């Protein structure tokens, strides 16, 4: 029996729910699990749920590889579009453009054709990138839990912890349990902890596996939940319990070196959380700019397409609304970055907080608002809009260049944030190791 990727939906685009598909074979096996056949006594073939996760690691690695390749292709497309837009701007603003009018028109036509081709390719790459991102997210959520036939998902906290770089200070909690074996913390270490997550209301569909007529009855519906929120709450509870134990120990025995290490660890932990918070803001800003870039690609592709008639009405109905929505996303991105991030990363945040995108000519905006209800090609508004149409098309190109420049700055900011986070986590791990050594010595001295 064939297997299906975990993140495929029923339409096959790989971007839907984790378990939204329906089984392909329903009547051949006595049951969907690998149990024995009551009639023959021989084991049946493994069911879909037994085989579905057998290649989960390989599928996840393959999706991540494809996702990296898609992101690389998207970056190359963005760079190529920027070069073409720069060439078009130089051709448009060249000093001899009035002298060589015919030559300039031919070059602009050629550049528009190249840009149209690149934009169409970019739209396809963006759609594939979004599909792979949804599939990767679904696979990551699935890898956190194990499906059971009762409709619950058993989630290993260590798996959840390994997927969250912001909580690396919990990795060594099990080492503390060796020193405090008599405490309750030793019995609840993350290395041996698992919990059952119920309340699987996040899925809209369930997968129904029915046996053959001879087996009788239907199998219970199988559902999946990552249990991410519950696992995070459990990790926070364990962290608080660990802090309480350490505070009690430090109050009982006064050791300045250990207290200093504990204070430095708290400082590094706070730094990790601060960098993670800023990174979330940068991710949100990047997401908005990428959405804006996608909208502008579609709008500009319509303008430079060979089928474009060059009328103000076509521009107002097709490209203009997309450009306006992209402008709204740019304005919203300015308000995402918080004051603390602005102070700490002023060189990056200032360029993203104070953004003034180019505006369309007022006659074009007025025509776009009024042409939805009434259109008269001979009206003064239509004539004035046609006069400013070329300027509006240039604004569209300038908008896309602006978004590409901001995305390049965001990419540099993300690199800086990643380095800061890695440095804070490394220092935190070193201090944590030293503290464990000091606490182990202290625990032995107290026990004696």
Cβ-contact 155, 164 below 8 angstroms: no
CA–CA dist 14, 19 (Å, integer): 11
Alpha carbon of 289 to those of 151, 356, 402, 410: distances in Å? Answer: 39, 14, 10, 9
Distance CA 59, CA 45 (A): 22
Contact 249/240 with Cβ under 8 angstroms? Answer: no
Residue 186: in which H helix or E strand, if any? none
What pLDDT was estimated at residue 329? 94
> What is the model's pLDDT at position 250?
67
Cβ atoms of 85 and 115 closer than 8 Å:
yes
Output the CA torsion sign for 158, 146, 62, 228: negative
Per-residue pLDDT of the chain (448 residues; tens, 9 = 90+): 444 444 434 444 444 433 344 444 444 444 444 444 444 444 444 444 444 444 555 677 777 777 777 777 777 777 777 777 777 777 666 655 555 555 666 777 777 777 777 777 777 777 777 777 777 777 766 655 444 444 444 444 434 444 444 444 444 444 444 443 333 333 334 333 333 333 333 334 333 434 444 444 444 444 444 566 778 788 888 888 877 777 776 666 666 766 777 778 788 888 889 999 999 999 999 999 999 998 998 888 888 888 888 888 889 888 999 999 999 999 999 999 999 999 999 989 888 998 888 899 998 988 888 876 677 777 888 888 888 888 898 899 889 889 988 999 999 999 999 999 999 899 888 888 887 787 777 777 766 5
Q: At what angle do helices 101-143 and 256-303 cross, to 10 degrees?
A: 140
370-424 confidence digits (pLDDT tens): 876 677 777 888 888 888 888 898 899 889 889 988 999 999 999 999 999 999 8
Query: With the C-alpha atoms ordered 303, 304, 307, 312, is the resulting torsion angle positive or negative?
Result: positive
201 bridge partner residues: none
- Nearest to 72, CA basis, from 15, 128, 136, 14: 128
What whole-number distance in Å separates Cα of residue 38 and Cα of residue 34? 12
Instruction: Please answer whether residues 23 and 209 qualify as being in contact, where contact means their C-beta atoms are separated by less than 8 angstroms.
Output: yes
The candidate with the shortest Cα–Cα distance to 404, out of 72, 75, 69, is 75
pLDDT at 32: 40
Q: What pLDDT score does 279 carry?
A: 93
């Amino acid at each position: 029996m064939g297997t299906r990727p975990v993140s495929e939906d029923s339409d096959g685009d790989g971007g839907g729910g984790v378990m939204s598909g329906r089984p392909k074979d329903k009547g051949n096996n006595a049951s969907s699990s690998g149990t024995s056949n009551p009639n023959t006594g021989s084991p049946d073939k493994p069911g879909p749920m037994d085989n579905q996760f057998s290649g989960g690691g390989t599928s996840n690695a393959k999706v991540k590889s494809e996702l990296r390749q898609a992101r690389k292709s998207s970056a190359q497309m963005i760079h190529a579009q920027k070069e073409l837009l720069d060439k078009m701007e130089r051709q448009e603003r060249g000093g001899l453009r009035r002298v060589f009018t015919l030559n300039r028109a031919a070059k602009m036509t050629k550049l528009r054709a190249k840009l149209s081709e690149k934009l169409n390719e970019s739209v396809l790459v963006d759609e594939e990138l979004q599909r792979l991102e949804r599939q990767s997210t679904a696979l990551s959520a699935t890898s956190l839990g194990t499906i059971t036939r009762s409709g619950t998902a058993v989630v290993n906290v260590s798996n959840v912890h390994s997927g969250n770089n912001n909580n690396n200070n919990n990795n060594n909690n099990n080492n503390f349990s060796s020193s405090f074996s008599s405490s309750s913390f030793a019995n609840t270490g993350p290395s041996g902890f698992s919990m059952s997550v119920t309340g699987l209301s996040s899925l809209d569909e369930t997968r129904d596996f029915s046996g053959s007529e001879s087996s009788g009855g239907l199998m219970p519906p199988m559902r999946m939940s990552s249990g991410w929120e519950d696992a995070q709450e459990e990790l926070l509870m364990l962290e608080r319990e660990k802090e309480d134990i350490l505070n009690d120990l430090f109050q009982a025995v006064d050791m300045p070196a250990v207290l200093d290490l504990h204070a430095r660890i708290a400082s590094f932990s706070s730094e990790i959380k601060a960098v993670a918070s800023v990174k979330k803001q940068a991710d949100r800003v990047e997401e908005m700019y990428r959405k804006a870039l996608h909208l502008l690609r579609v709008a500009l592709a319509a303008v430079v397409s060979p089928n474009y008639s060059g009328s103000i009405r076509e521009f107002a109905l097709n490209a203009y609304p997309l450009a306006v929505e992209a402008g709204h996303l740019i304005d919203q991105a300015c308000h995402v970055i918080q004051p603390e991030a602005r102070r700490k990363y002023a060189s990056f945040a200032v360029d993203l907080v104070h953004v003034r995108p180019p505006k369309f000519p007022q006659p074009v905006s007025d025509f776009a608002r009024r042409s939805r209800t009434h259109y008269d090609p001979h009206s003064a508004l239509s004539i004035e809009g046609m006069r400013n149409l070329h300027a509006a098309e240039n604004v569209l190109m300038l908008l896309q260049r602006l978004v590409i420049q901001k995305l390049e700055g965001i990419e540099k900011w993300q690199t800086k944030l990643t380095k800061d986070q890695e440095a804070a986590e490394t220092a935190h791990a070193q201090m944590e190791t030293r503290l464990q050594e000091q606490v182990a010595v202290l625990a032995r001295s107290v026990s004696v």
